Amino acid sequence: MERVIEIVSFIMKQVLFQGENICSERDLVDALVQQGFQPEEIERAFKLLYSLPTTLKSDIEELAELSDLEEGHRIFSPTEQKKITVTCQGEILRLFNSSLLSLNELEKVLAEALQMDTSEVGLKELEQILYKVIADEERLLMIIPHPIEMGPSFLLN
């Protein structure tokens, strides 16, 4: 049975890689015989493949459609959760959800937070990171409407 599964795997790879340009069944059989598989094994593999539900193609198409989706939710990794305070995590997500941070900037903020020498990144550290990451001064003033010395109280609005 293991060799039959190997044949099925080979055929599935051919289908996935070649798509509509897949060679004929006869060519597949010839290739399998050249690889040392017996005709009985090949026949059992094809019977197994033909017994699969016909929805396989639609499932593959659905997966392709899902991979094209641009919407999603960013979650914090365990390392990020451990290093960044809950309040800071919430503020980062609020800034992102209100389009004050792009996805690229969000990732840069998180990378900077993980690289900080402090044991915990809170709102004060977030403010410092935002000054490093966001180049657009007008947008930065929308997020931080005061000098950094005044503290991060703006973030709690």
Choosing from 18, 42, 67, the residue where a domain stops is 67
Assess contact for 137 and 108: CB atoms under 8 A: no
Say if residue 59's pLDDT is above 70: no
Identify whether 10 is part of a domain.
Answer: yes
- How many angstroms separate the CA atoms of 140 and 121, rounded? 19
Residue 69 confidence (pLDDT) above 80: no
- Average pLDDT value over all residues in the chain: 79
- 25-56 confidence digits (pLDDT tens): 788 888 889 989 988 988 888 888 777 655 44
Q: What is the mean pLDDT of residues 113-134?
A: 93
CB 101 within 8 A of CB 109: yes
Note whether 87 and 148 are same-domain residues: yes
**pLDDT for residue 19 is more than 80:** no
- Number of H helices and E strands in the chain, helices first, is 9, 0
> For residue 65, what pLDDT band results from cuts at 50, 70 and 90?
low
58 pLDDT higher than 70: no
Q: Indicate if 40 and 90 belong to the same structural domain.
A: no
Please tell me the total count of domains within the chain: 2
